[in-house]
Amino acid sequence: MSQESLVEIRNLNFTYDSRPVLTGINMTIPRGKVVAVMGSSGCGKTTTMRLIGGQLKPTSGEVRVAGKVVHELDGDGLYDLRRRMGMLFQFGALFTDMSVYDNVAFQMREHTDLNEAMIRDLVMMKLHAVGLRGAHKLMPAELSGGMARRVALARAIALDPMLMMYDEPFAGLDPISLSIVGELIRKLNDALGGSSIVVTHDVQESLKIVDYVYFVSEGKIVAEGTAEEIKSSTVPYVHQFVWGEADGPVPFHYPSRSSYGAELTGRAARHG
């Protein structure tokens, strides 16, 4: 990917205590592109996003966003950088005691000096973009899962961020909602002219909307490429993950000291 970079991750290593989580990670997120980070649970995908957002500091290496090394920023610098980021949390994470309208208005009230008339226009604009302008008076408890995710998306883009990060945006959605959210991620990224990072298990839906994919396994990048390149990958782990195959490097059965047949035979002998 040769376009101008918004996020650059170089030789990144991160450990929890002495346990390595990320090892030698190199990623580039170009401006204006949607990039997916895929891999099985526990491989380090969400940790990568936390390092980009400055919630964690790398053990070594660096994460550079808009030309700034994130872990070198002071509190004010990090706060300013985060204002230019949007985050869609898994399952939305809406404020349950606030209406749809107030959820979307929250960031505008918190981070700007806009008057309420201007905030109202912007809130309704963001809700219209996700198809929920008519739901602005509803409470989160009155929303379906797909609607809640779309409200969360409207809240995440409230300040027109240069970088959007999505943590499992398709989890728990029905096929229609899943498709709608996928299309919104792509359309909003193009409309805002920013960049998006999508951390997901949903391979097939993600490959419809992304420009580039990084596959992470055991804290390392094992494959990268366009959607078509990933679909045709011969890397055993990637092939198994993309096509959902039971046989491959990722085993279905948790390791056991004895074979299933031996265990049954031994049990039969004990009770015979």
Structure tokens at 57: 């500091």
For residues 120 and 204, membership in a common domain is answered with no
Are 11 and 136 members of one domain?
no
Q: Count the helices and strands in the chain (H runs, E runs).
A: 10, 10
Domain boundary among 113, 131, 160: 160
Alpha-carbon gap, residue 177 to 196, rounded angstroms: 19
In a domain, 90, yes or no: no
Q: Are residues 176 and 240 in the same domain?
A: yes
Last-in-domain residue among 160, 178, 200:
160
Whether 202 and 68 share a structural domain: yes
In a domain, 33, yes or no: yes
For residue 204, the surrounding DSSP H or E stretch is helix 203-207
Please check whether residues 253 and 167 belong to one and the same domain: yes
CB of 78 closer than 8 Å to CB of 70: yes
pLDDT (0 to 100) of residue 244: 67
Residues 191 and 71 in one domain: yes
Q: Assess if residue 78 is contained within a domain.
A: yes
Residue 196 belongs to a domain:
yes
| Domain membership of residue 34 as a residue range | 5-84+161-271
pLDDT at 258: 65
Last residue of a domain, one of 124, 141, 160: 160
Of the chain, the end-to-end C-alpha distance in Å amounts to: 66
Same domain, 50 and 37: yes
pLDDT per residue rounded down to tens, the chain (272 residues): 446 889 999 999 999 888 888 999 999 999 999 999 987 776 778 889 899 999 999 999 999 999 999 999 999 999 889 888 988 887 668 888 999 999 999 989 988 899 999 999 999 999 998 889 999 999 999 998 888 888 998 998 888 899 999 988 887 778 888 888 888 889 989 988 889 999 987 788 888 899 999 988 888 898 899 988 888 888 777 777 776 666 555 554 555 666 666 666 666 555 55
pLDDT at 111: 84
Check residue 257 and give its pLDDT.
65
3-state secondary structure of 263: helix
57 and 113 belong to one structural domain: no
CATH number at residue 35: 3.40.50.300
Q: Please state the domain count of the chain.
A: 2
Residue 53 in any domain: the answer is yes
pTM (2 decimals)? Answer: 0.81
CA–CA separation, 185 vs 222, rounded Å? Answer: 25
